[in-house]
């Protein structure tokens, strides 16, 4: 069902909720309601309708707002919506978009309470960009994730919040318990995370031995050389990792930080698709030589994307890469 950007507002959401009440046998539901000026009451009404779907196994719900929206669901709306969703205990796949809704940490706590009831989830996509969520909110959300022990795929987007070091460490503590993860996508850009937070997060990353696909987005944080070195140490635990994307654009690690990550790459033989974004970190030619040498050990690599913002450095790296003719480069 697609009703995005139609300005349906509170009244339209209530009418929609009444209509949804007639389809209680649904097992799969997609509701795209982003940019519709839906407030707290409208979100709660929609949640109440969905709560009657006892057979629901897959739900995608998009209630994202634009940054200029007047009506947002806020913490109150998230409680009403999520408490209703917590009754859908047969959910195996849940994708929830709540970007730009002024949830705050109280709202994220409500999300966590609902997730703690969804113990059968194998896939979770949670998009909470720009919601003023701090470290305490992440701690409560992480406590809920601990109970979702069957998760094999987790997509968590916390772009532009206020989780800082404590929040990143709290998230790492939660990830320790998700031992069945095969795919993990973490978007933590613009969260004022420094070395301490990155290191705390890495402690959680080492506990997912089955991981095949990993995307880490740390754009414009404050991660220094030690933080990146710890990340390399954590990644070395993944013997089956085939797809890796790391965005560390505009951090603070420089040459020394990259060498720690290169140690991991030099011993990695399983990676097939690799994307590294290191622009804005004052990486010089000597460090790119180390990176180029490390990449020669990735014997199964077929797709490589490097972003360094220094074209001379990129050309220098290519001198050190002697890989399969199937290798594709992106810059």
Contacts of 152 (CB under 8 A, 6+ apart): 122, 123, 180, 181, 182, 183
How far CA 284 is from CA of 280, 308, 313, in Å, comes to 11, 10, 7
CATH architecture observed for domain 9-330: Alpha-Beta Horseshoe (3.80)
Domain boundaries, the chain: 9-330
Tokens of 164: 């800082």
Taking residue 324's Cβ as centre, other Cβ atoms within 10 Å add up to: 10
| pLDDT tens over the chain, length 331 residues | 545 555 677 778 888 888 888 888 899 999 999 888 888 898 889 999 998 898 999 999 999 998 767 678 898 888 878 877 888 889 999 999 999 999 998 898 888 888 888 889 999 999 999 999 999 899 989 998 999 989 999 999 999 999 999 999 999 999 999 999 999 999 999 999 998 999 899 888 887 778 999 999 999 999 888 888 888 888 888 889 999 999 999 887 766 666 678 888 888 889 999 999 988 777 766 667 778 778 888 888 899 888 876 555 655 556 555 554 455 555 5
Q: How many CA atoms lie within 13 A of 293 on its CB side?
A: 10
Q: State the pTM of this model.
A: 0.90
Q: In angstroms, rounded to a whole number, what is the distance separating the alpha carbons of residues 112 and 82?
A: 9
């Amino acid at each position: 069902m697609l009703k995005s950007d139609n300005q349906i507002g509170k009244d339209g959401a209530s009418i929609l909720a009444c209509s949804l009440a007639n389809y209680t046998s649904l097992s799969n539901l997609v509701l795209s309601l982003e940019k519709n000026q839906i407030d707290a009451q409208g979100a709660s009404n929609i949640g109440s309708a969905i709560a009657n779907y006892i057979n629901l196994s897959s739900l995608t719900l998009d209630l994202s707002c634009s940054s200029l929206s007047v009506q947002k669901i806020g913490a109150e709306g998230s409680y009403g919506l999520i408490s209703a969703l917590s009754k859908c205990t047969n959910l195996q796949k849940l994708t929830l978009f709540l970007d730009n809704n002024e949830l705050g940490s109280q709202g994220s706590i409500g999300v966590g309470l609902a997730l703690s009831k969804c113990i059968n989830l194998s896939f979770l996509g949670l998009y909470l960009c720009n919601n003023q969520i701090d470290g305490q909110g992440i701690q409560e959300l992480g406590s809920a994730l601990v109970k979702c022990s069957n998760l094999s795929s987790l997509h968590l987007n916390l772009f532009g919040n206020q989780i800082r070091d404590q929040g990143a460490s709290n998230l790492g503590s939660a990830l320790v318990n998700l031992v069945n993860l095969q795919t993990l996508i973490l978007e933590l850009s613009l969260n004022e995370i420094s070395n301490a937070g990155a290191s705390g997060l890495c402690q959680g990353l080492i506990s997912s031995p089955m991981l095949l696909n990993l995307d880490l987005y740390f754009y414009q944080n404050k991660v220094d050389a030690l933080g990146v070195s710890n990340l390399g140490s954590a990644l070395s635990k993944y013997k089956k990792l085939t797809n890796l994307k790391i965005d560390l654009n505009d951090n603070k690690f420089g040459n020394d930080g990259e060498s720690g990550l290169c140690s991991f790459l030099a011993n990695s033989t399983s990676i097939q698709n690799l994307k590294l974004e290191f622009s804005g970190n004052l990486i010089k030619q000597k460090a790119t030589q180390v990176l180029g040498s490390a990449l020669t050990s990735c014997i199964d690599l077929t797709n490589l994307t490097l972003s360094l913002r220094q074209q001379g450095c990129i050309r220098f790296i290519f001198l050190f890469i002697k890989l399969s003719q199937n290798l594709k480069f992106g810059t």
